[in-house]
Structure 1
Amino acid sequence: MITVEHVTKRYGAVTAVDDVSFVCRPGTVTGFLGPNGAGKSTTMRMICGLTPPSAGSATIDGVAYRDLPNPGRHVGVLLDASAQHAGRTGREVLAVSGQLLGVPRSRVDDVLELVGLTGAAAKRRVGNYSLGMRQRLGIAHALLGDPSVLILDEPANGLDPEGIYWMRSLLRDFADRGGTVMLSSHLLREVEAVADHVVVIGNGQVVADGDKDELLAPGGLVVRALEPPALERALADAGVAVRETQDGSFTVDADAETVGRAAAAAGVVLLELRPADSAGLEGLFLSLTSAGATSAGATSAGAASATAPTEDKGEAA
């Protein structure tokens, strides 16, 4: 389990991460999302002991990363797939790390097969790898110590559609076997497909934190009438806020009985009355991190707002 409690990181007068708290639980994939400069990579580096927090704490199963005995056997980390020795072969990269971790030599072959880098690919120098192959090697490196926790930053970058599907299946299987996965990615549809829990960070603060299905649950009703202006007047008279859509229907934050009674009292014929569709993770992300949003603090399984993110050259995607 990953536990982040009131973590803050300041660089002089600049606060990159501001009082961030969340939990990634065993058996789940947590999507950790945010625009460039939001503080995602800084937060992940603090969890992994690479950047000391100015305040707060981050622990793995209750222990700070730096205090874990042989941390690679507990936590598999992929923060930068290009940070690998270009002159070594893929097998050599893993063999050296395997000796440091104290894993059997057979484990190197196991993870190479798992990520699809067998045969000639394993013997090729990393400097001649494609981006997708480096990502696969980075995932193999994260899995090498047979950890119970995975922390992955943009692991699908450079993977083709087949590779993305493979990675999604791998992470889902890892979590289903009781592992904890923290996944940061700009591929929102892929995160939506695999994540159980979602944490969204904007401008250094958590702006949404909750179960994915609850966060993405649609809100309100869609209503369409034979005479739209008459329906709009009837709902306004009933005190129901109305938002017109491009197809001529209305979205309302009210229950079906209230809408039906207002329409009946005004003699308006309804053509459609149904729950609104979810905008999906992409819609949630944009609503929380758009330039017009304002900060409203952390939310749990509900809508929230965030101040517009600023670009930070020190913050990776």
Structure 2
Amino acid sequence: MITVDHLTKTYGAHRAVDDVSFTCEPGTVTGFLGPNGAGKSTTMRMICGLTPPTSGRATVGGVPYQRLGNPGRHIGVLLDASAQHAGRTGREVLALAAMTMGLDTARVTGRLARVGLTGAAPKRRVRAYSLGMRQRLGLAYAMIGDPAVLILDEPANGLDPEGIHWMRGLLRDFADRGGTVLLSSHLLREVEVIADRLVVIGNGRILTQGDKEKLLNAAGTLVRTADPAAIQALLQRMGLTGTPSTDGSVLVPADPRAVGRAAAASGVALLELRPAGAGGLEEMFLRLTAGSDLEGVSR
């Protein structure tokens, strides 16, 4: 299990991560989402001991990363696919990783084949690898020690559709066998397919978290009308407060049937009335992060 407990990181006056807490349980994939600059990478670096927190703590299996004996046997990390020695071959990268962890280098061939690096690819220098090939090598590196936990930051970058489909199956199989996956990605539809739980962060703070299906189903009701003042007056009579969405609709914390009946009784014409979760993760993400920097988010 990954446990993040009130993590905070400040750089001068800037608070990059602000009191973030969540857990990732065995047998699950947790999608860690947020726009660029939200604090995802900083949080993941703190979990992996690469960035010291200003306050709070993070543990893997109840132990801080720095205190894990032979950490690669417990947790596999892929934070930057390009952070590999460009002059080594793919086979050399994995062989050195295996030796560092005290593992038999005979496993290298199988691990390379598992991520689709076969034929001449293992003998090529990493500098000649495409980004997609480096991602595959990074996944092999993360999994070479048979860890129980994977922490992956944008592992699908550079992968083609077939590669993304392959990675989805690989991570789903890992979790189904009891592994724990923390996955950061801008590919919202892929996260929606694979994730069991979601943690959404914006401006360094948790915006929402929990079971994916419950979050999507409990999103409320989206209402759109040609007369914004009328819908606000209606909500006031119902004792509700609506939240304007980025597309001009209003998010109402009520069942669609209740809103529809009240609108009909008041003579308020509605142009749209539907469960907010019907738009899936993409719509929920955009609504939660409205006003944040959305550069780089793939829909």
TM-score (norm 2): 0.84
Alignment CA distance shift 1:166-1:251 (3 Å): same
Alignment CA distance shift 1:87-1:262 (3 Å): closer
Task: Report how far residue 163 of structure 1 moved.
Answer: 0.1
Please give the alpha-carbon distance, in whole angstroms, between the structure 1 residues aligned to 2:53 and 2:64.
Answer: 12
| Counterpart code for 1:27 | G
SS for the counterpart of 1:278 is helix
- Matched residue, 1:68: 68
- Matched residue, 2:237: 239
Alignment CA distance shift 1:260-1:133 (3 Å): same
Task: Report how far residue 96 of structure 1 moved.
Answer: 0.7
Q: Could you tell me whether the CA contact under 8 Å between 1:221 and 1:254 is conserved in 2?
A: no
Please give the alpha-carbon distance, in whole angstroms, between the structure 1 residues aligned to 2:244 and 2:36.
Answer: 32
- Matched residue, 2:144: 144
Q: Which runs of structure 2 are paired with 1:78-227 in the superposition (5 Å)?
A: 78-217=78-217, 218-220=219-221
Q: Could you tell me whether the CA contact under 8 Å between 1:238 and 1:262 is conserved in 2?
A: no
Gaps of 5+ in 2: none
| Counterpart code for 2:189 | R
Please give the alpha-carbon distance, in whole angstroms, between the structure 2 residues aligned to 1:251 and 1:57.
Answer: 35
- Matched residue, 1:34: 34
Alignment CA distance shift 1:102-1:256 (3 Å): same
Please give the alpha-carbon distance, in whole angstroms, between the structure 2 residues aligned to 1:89 and 1:108.
Answer: 12
Alignment CA distance shift 1:261-1:210 (3 Å): closer
Alignment CA distance shift 1:254-1:160 (3 Å): closer
Alignment CA distance shift 1:251-1:199 (3 Å): closer
Q: Could you tell me whether the CA contact under 8 Å between 2:200 and 2:207 is conserved in 1?
A: yes
Alignment CA distance shift 1:94-1:214 (3 Å): same
Task: Report how far residue 123 of structure 1 moved.
Answer: 0.8
| Counterpart code for 2:144 | L
Task: Report how far residue 250 of structure 1 moved.
Answer: 9.9
- Matched residue, 1:297: none
Alignment CA distance shift 1:266-1:31 (3 Å): closer
Q: Could you tell me whether the CA contact under 8 Å between 2:221 and 2:273 is conserved in 1?
A: no
| Counterpart code for 1:288 | L
Task: Report how far residue 286 of structure 1 moved.
Answer: 1.2
- Matched residue, 2:56: 56
SS for the counterpart of 2:237 is coil
Task: Report how far residue 236 of structure 1 moved.
Answer: 4.0
TM-score (norm 1): 0.80
Task: Report how far residue 256 of structure 1 moved.
Answer: 2.8
Q: Share of identical aligned residues, percent?
A: 66
Q: Could you tell me whether the CA contact under 8 Å between 1:3 and 1:23 is conserved in 2?
A: yes
- Cα offsets for 1:12-66 (capped at 9, x unmatched): 2221111111101111000111111111111111100011111110000000001
Q: Could you tell me whether the CA contact under 8 Å between 1:31 and 1:184 is conserved in 2?
A: yes
Q: Could you tell me whether the CA contact under 8 Å between 1:76 and 1:142 is conserved in 2?
A: yes
Most deviating of 24-33 and 249-258: 249-258
Please give the alpha-carbon distance, in whole angstroms, between the structure 1 residues aligned to 2:113 and 2:8.
Answer: 40
- Cα offsets for 1:151-207 (capped at 9, x unmatched): 000000000000000000100010010000000011111111100111111111111
Task: Report how far residue 132 of structure 1 moved.
Answer: 0.5
SS for the counterpart of 2:53 is coil
Question: What is the root-mean-square deviation in Å for CA atoms of aligned residues?
Answer: 3.2
Task: Report how far residue 274 of structure 1 moved.
Answer: 6.7
- Matched residue, 2:10: 10
Alignment CA distance shift 1:255-1:124 (3 Å): closer
Alignment CA distance shift 1:154-1:277 (3 Å): closer
Q: Could you tell me whether the CA contact under 8 Å between 1:32 and 1:183 is conserved in 2?
A: yes
Q: Could you tell me whether the CA contact under 8 Å between 1:16 and 1:39 is conserved in 2?
A: yes
SS for the counterpart of 1:99 is helix
